[in-house]
């Protein structure tokens, strides 16, 4: 079976001449369908740059990136947008919810680009809210929700289009310890029960411990790529 994601010698340079900054210096990485991978590293290590490239939010300076059989670095902006729309979901630290819009309407937003009828959008959005345990909050605005509930709405929005791959950039960065645990348990269920591939950027060891594989980026290179033995032993016992 071919890997879901395969990158070879991927680089990203910002600026030119003496002011050029090499954020990624030549990364090789393979990710298989159904994996839960945490990407760690200190500030400025290149981990967020790597996530942006894998999520088709940016383009590399050189190297190759295959998503399934698609050579991503050769796609134009419109083609990358289509790939994001139909195959990828995104969860961000800041939730990015529309303040005066209900939870249900926030979840509906990515479905607008699919051409679904209003009725179909509502059905899919409500099903996504059910998956994150918030069907009773469909009419609430973000101001009427806790931070954890807002992040659940953001996850529901990412799930509404049924993506096979989720990119999560510091998904618990604005949450307290208890709520962080709840969100990570939800991501684990999505990975284990629905077989959604998850790539998560985090700087917290406790959060990364929920992933089955931990990739550490330092100075624009992969410093380590390890199986999380404690997580995999837990899965083997369930």
| Residue 233, pLDDT score | 57
Residue 124 in any domain: the answer is: no
CA distance 213 to 89: 20
CA distance 131 to 111: 17
Residue 129 in any domain: the answer is: no
CA distance 212 to 50: 19
Percent of the chain with pLDDT strictly greater than 70: 96
pLDDT at 148 over 80: yes
CATH number of 175's domain: 3.40.50.300
What pTM was computed for the model? 0.91
Are 36 and 210 within 8 A, CB to CB?
Answer: yes
Give the sign of the dihedral formed by CA 190, CA 191, CA 196, CA 202: positive
**Structural domain that includes position 168:** 5-96+163-237
Residue 128 in any domain: the answer is: no
SS3 category, 81: helix
For range 58-87, the mean pLDDT: 94
| Number of separate domains in the chain | 1
Identify the residue with better confidence: 238 or 60: 60
pLDDT digits (tens, 9 = 90+) for 82-123: 999 899 999 988 888 999 999 999 999 999 888 788 999 999
| Residue 94, pLDDT score | 86
Are 34 and 197 within 8 A, CB to CB?
Answer: yes
pLDDT at 145 over 50: yes
Tokens 């990570």, residue? 184
| Residue 69, pLDDT score | 87
Residue 108 in any domain: the answer is: no
The pLDDT mean for the chain works out to 93
| Residue 207, pLDDT score | 95
Residue 125 in any domain: the answer is: no
pLDDT at 132 over 80: yes
Residue 147 in any domain: the answer is: no
For range 114-135, the mean pLDDT: 93
CA distance 125 to 132: 11
| Residue 237, pLDDT score | 47
Which band of pLDDT confidence, cut at 50, 70 and 90, is reported for residue 22? very high
pLDDT at 15 over 90: yes
CA distance 175 to 124: 27
Residue 39 in any domain: the answer is: yes
CA distance 129 to 136: 9
Which band of pLDDT confidence, cut at 50, 70 and 90, is reported for residue 234? low
Residue 106 in any domain: the answer is: no
CA distance 125 to 67: 27
């Amino acid at each position: 079976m071919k890997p879901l994601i395969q990158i070879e010698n991927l680089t990203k340079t910002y600026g030119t001449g003496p002011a050029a900054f090499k954020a990624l210096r030549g990364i090789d990485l393979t990710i298989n369908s159904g994996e839960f991978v945490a990407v760690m590293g200190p500030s400025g290590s290149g981990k967020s740059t790597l996530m942006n490239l894998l999520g088709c939010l940016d383009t590399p300076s050189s190297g190759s990136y295959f998503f399934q059989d698609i050579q991503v670095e050769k796609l134009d902006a419109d083609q990358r947008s289509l790939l994001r729309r139909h195959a990828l979901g995104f969860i961000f630290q800041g939730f990015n919810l529309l303040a005066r819009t209900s939870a249900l309407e926030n979840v509906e937003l990515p479905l607008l680009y699919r051409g679904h009828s209003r009725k179909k959008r509502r059905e899919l959005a409500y099903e996504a809210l059910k998956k994150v345990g918030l069907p009773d909050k469909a009419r609430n605005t973000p101001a009427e929700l806790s931070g954890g509930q807002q992040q659940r709405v953001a996850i529901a929005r990412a799930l509404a289009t049924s993506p096979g791959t989720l990119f999560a950039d510091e998904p618990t960065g604005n949450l307290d310890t208890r709520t962080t645990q709840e969100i990570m348990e939800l991501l684990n269920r999505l990975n284990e029960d629905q077989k959604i591939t998850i790539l998560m950027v985090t700087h917290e060891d406790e959060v990364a411990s929920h992933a089955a594989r931990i990739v550490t980026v330092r100075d624009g290179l992969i410093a380590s790529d390890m199986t999380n033995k404690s997580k995999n032993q837990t899965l083997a016992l369930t």
